Structure 1
Amino acid sequence: MTRSDKTRLDDIGLVALVGAGKMGGAMLDGWLALGLDPRNVVVVEPHPSEELAALSMKGVVLNPPAGAVTNISTIVLAVKPQVASDVMPSEAAMVGADTLVLSIMAGKTLAFLQQALPKASIVRAMPNTPAAIGRGITVAVPNAAVTPEQRQRAHALLAASGAVEWIDDESLMDAVTAVSGSGPAYVFLLAETLTKAGIEAGLPAPLAAKLARETVSGAGELLRQSPLDPATLRRNVTSPAGTTAAALAVLMAADGLDPLMRKAVAEAAKRSRELAG
């Protein structure tokens, strides 16, 4: 999704970001780039970075006293799920009759959020770390109280970081977390292990690292731009009895990458369910 494809945010209203770590900070950067007035942003972050402190000089309201800010259009919950129970009571006081609550906390269900924020309009979403460069993908699910206008508002805020998909079945969110939420780490591990394998094959470490990084990122971009499915792209670069075929015979063996990835995704989905409590 290009910058011009994304909805501008100059009329989105007052947005309160609770938690400005890597993901929350990436979302904030995207909002400001798309025209959200810094004066329409409130950030609650006990450990603000230097970059966040600098934004406060441009109008972003940083850590205001309780009750000092009213008429909040959207509250974005971007804290770690482990501290959710601690922060929810203070956030409840910020929720007005028309406030949308947008949560990106992994594993925290709509039921959990609704218990802490009765009658609130809530969207639960799962972004991933490529949001930091505007190339993330987010899956979102609304509760019954969300209006069409609020859904559009949530979409605009999430689309500032990349593509957005909506689902109606919240039970899919654990699998979403396991595939796209945790997925970037799997790709980084591929580059890491490919680097090590290159070094063991005799390449100088810097060259092995560069080849692995550029190969993974280049193949990913080809996959994004190509109309072909991954299996077809794989077959297109695999000559019969060639070097790629020899390597794939190992990776596609009965005990190769496929069962390992299935097990990894299953374990991540299980952990997502555990975080829900």
Structure 2
Amino acid sequence: MPDYLSITEVPGAPVNREQLGRMVLRYSLAAALADGRPTLEVGCGAGIGLGLLLDRAAPLVACDGSFGAVSLARQSLGHAVPLAQADAHYLPYREDTFDFIFSFEMIYYLARPIQFLGECHRLLTRGGQILVGTSNPDWPFFVPGQLSVHYPTAPELVSWLRAAGFESIHLYGSLPVDQMGRRFHTVLVAWLRRHLLRLGILAQDNRLTRLLKRLSYGHLTPLPRQLSRTMGVAAPFRELTAIDPGQRDRRHRVLFVLGRARKNHT
């Protein structure tokens, strides 16, 4: 299994205001749904967002496929959250353990995403919920990330959840493309970022790449070790737009899908 630490959001990494806001929104969504329930994050990375859920989930558990990322998460969280290195295709937990599972910006790295979703269904109690967030490959300036396998479109994402046994599926979009505007500068910056990402230049860290990142993303600040509670979005679902699960979406940069585990009565 590849070690994804090189592409993981780690403490101290330079991010712009939009990137930080995107991270805060997705973990605020998870916190709103956790609400005192046994909760698992799959693909927790360095655990930067888990601070927003510490007083919301009961208990909160997390795992990641990268040993290096899990080590960083342990440094930040100590014993506050049970952490494990785990392959998302074979999650090391008992069935019917969690009421809520979430995963952000991870599913497109998986060779067998439906198997992962099936594992989540196995671990959820009847009626338990899953929340998956992913970049939308249909927005105009989309560029696939390094080590990615396949980015699902909106209909694919919904069909994957259905195939894994989920029902009551709702699809949402965030970061509307039209908020970027039509200004020449906005289009130029998006074009520059797209080509730099495609060439892999921004994955390096030197004076030139820092300059290019500033040109592409604007002012950068170091990513904190933990997102603080004061950063949380009060009503995060109001930031989302419900979208048609049967249509490819070209308006939003990020997709979120929420489903409920369908299990037989025992």
Task: Verify same fold: TM over 0.5.
Answer: no
Higher-Rg member (1/2): 1
More strand by share: 2
The one of the two structures with greater contact order (alpha-carbon pairs below 8 A, sep at least 6) is 2
For Structure 1 versus Structure 2, the TM-score category normalised by the shorter chain is 0.3 to 0.5
More helix by share: 1
